[in-house]
Structure 1
Amino acid sequence: MTDSKASMSNAHALSMLQALRRLQQAAEVHSKSLGRDGELTPLQLLILQVVELEGEITAGQLARHVALSQSSLSGALARLESKGLLTRRRDDDDRRKQWMSLEADGRKALKHSPALLPEHALERFAGLPEWEQHAILAGLLRAAELFETPGSGVEEEEEEEF
């Protein structure tokens, strides 16, 4: 690599790190406020939102939606189930599969929970032109792909349930 390419690459790396750090700090601040305002963690809220959106979903599908391994998801599901917010049931044909569905208390908890993203950010995002919203989403998704460690993604796990 030439010196000019290396210095440009270093400048891009520094800019990326600064942007990622700003996002991380904002996410941490909002996450702490979620913890103070509600009884559920941001991950638990995300799980409930995905289950509500999908209606009924397998644990494997849910793990992919929330970017967790099935083993990591298992503990969160157990806590939500013990609170009466969702139910798990075994598939009639394939007993390895578990289906998640939201309970009435889960819907109520979602209704009274704070937004997972800061309201001001959602409002500002909604005010952007549609093309820019798509560009930001595409950039965030691509950045997430670039930063994932090869071979460690939940998308590689089998559909087999716990």
Structure 2
Amino acid sequence: MPVKKVSSEIELSSVSAFELPLFQALRRLQQAGEVHAKRVSKFGGLTPVQLLILQVLAGERRLTASDLSGRVSLTAATLSGMLDRLEERGLLQRQRDDQDRRKQWLLLSEPGLALVQQAPSLLPPEFVERFAGLDEWERHSLTAALLRAAQLCGEME
């Protein structure tokens, strides 16, 4: 017996039952992120996204702006302005590739590395403490669910 296709009307109505609790959860995450962003900005005058950029660069020897853009989920235009500000503060350096002069590498400077080593967590401390208290399977499950939810929100434009 063939499987009946569920109409999009029924699919949407079944999703609507989740709409309010999902939005409320996303809003709570957003609020917690905003509060923590204010805490992080008191450290070195960096936004969480600027700190993320520095932390990604600290984990890599060097990256191009396009590689970094994908890693931090920023458009090239938005990232460019942030890189300019971080470079002006002496926290990162740009270096032309020896073989391909069109290619430019981004490197963390010594002051940038020192700042990253002293920086607070990108996550609120309360979250980090509670998350650490979860069983490993639950940490993996929660991480996978959040990554999937972010994926459902779509790719960068």
User: Do they fold alike, i.e. is TM over 0.5?
Assistant: yes
Give the equivalent residue in structure 1 for 2:99.
93
2:153 alignment partner, one of 136, 142, 147: 147
Alpha carbons of structure 1 residues 4 and 82: separation in structure 2 relative to 1, 3 Å? closer
Query: Aligned ranges for residues 9-158 of structure 1 at < 5 Å?
Result: 9-148=15-154, 153=156
Indicate the structure (1 or 2) with the bigger Cα radius of gyration. Answer: 2
- Gaps spanning 5+ residues in structure 1: where? 155-162
Provide the TM-score with structure 1 as the length reference. Answer: 0.84
Residues 90 and 96 in structure 1, CA contact (< 8 A), matched pair in contact too:
yes
Provide the TM-score with structure 2 as the length reference. Answer: 0.86
Q: Which amino acid aligns with 2:28?
A: R
- Aligned partners of 1:71, 1:18: CA distance in 2, in Å? 31
How many residue pairs were aligned? 151
- Gaps spanning 5+ residues in structure 2: where? 1-6
Residues 13-72 of structure 1, C-alpha deviations (whole Å, 9 max, x = no match): 111101101101111111112223432111111100000011211111111110011221
- Aligned partners of 1:3, 1:88: CA distance in 2, in Å? 52
Alpha carbons of structure 1 residues 3 and 80: separation in structure 2 relative to 1, 3 Å? closer
Give the equivalent residue in structure 2 for 1:158.
none
Identity rate, percent:
50
RMSD: 2.0
Larger RCO (CA under 8 A, 6+ residues apart): 1
